[in-house]
Structure 1
């Protein structure tokens, strides 16, 4: 009989330096996010996602990923910007899963 997946096996580990930033207003652009997060630490990587197909092709997806060089900067950003109101929406800022 095949083994059932456990929570530990199916859940990807969380990164210490990569952030998920969600609940973005469609009018928010990359520049706005970078200017908001840059003062909190040195950014290593930034992925702003757009719809690739369909009627929303080319429009922002409403979330992005940002990676800092240090875990300390990551936690500073979470403390400072989670629930921060940007364009009248509270940002969701949390650690992101690491793809294996």
Structure 2
């Protein structure tokens, strides 16, 4: 079995959990998510400086079917007054924004601006005039 296959399999078994109440313990969360099946690993994300939980984490299950069951049965379930956001940890259009936010929060890839590189306000008129004619017209 090759490494990329193992990595993809692990991704499919992993679940993103968001909107976690800040007053809930890791043990309580583990108990809640073991309702779907046995957990291989569980990780809450904490702020580096304060050490406080950020309100989201990741769970790895033994198999894809259990991870899918977790998403199906625990997404939007109210827990301590908050609806949990549960979805695949990687892939899928629903989680692209979550992945980008996590990458930025963890110091990873920076999201590219659709407006181009930042420009000093004093240089803005010149930068605008350099934009090509075709970029200003929609086709």
TM-score normalised by L of structure 1: 0.76
Point out the more displaced range, 39-48 or 70-79.
39-48
Structure with the bigger RCO (C-alpha within 8 Å, sep 6+) is 1
TM-score normalised by L of structure 2: 0.56
Unaligned runs of 5+ in 2: 1-7, 92-139
Structure showing greater radius of gyration is 2
Q: CA RMSD in A?
A: 2.1
1:15 aligns with 2:11: yes
Count, aligned residues: 84
State the match for 1:33 in structure 2.
29
Larger fraction in strand: 1
CA-CA distance at 1:61 after TM superposition: 0.7
Unaligned runs of 5+ in 1: 1-12
1:82 aligns with 2:78: no
Deviating above 3 A after TM superposition, structure 1's stretches of 4 or more consecutive aligned residues are none
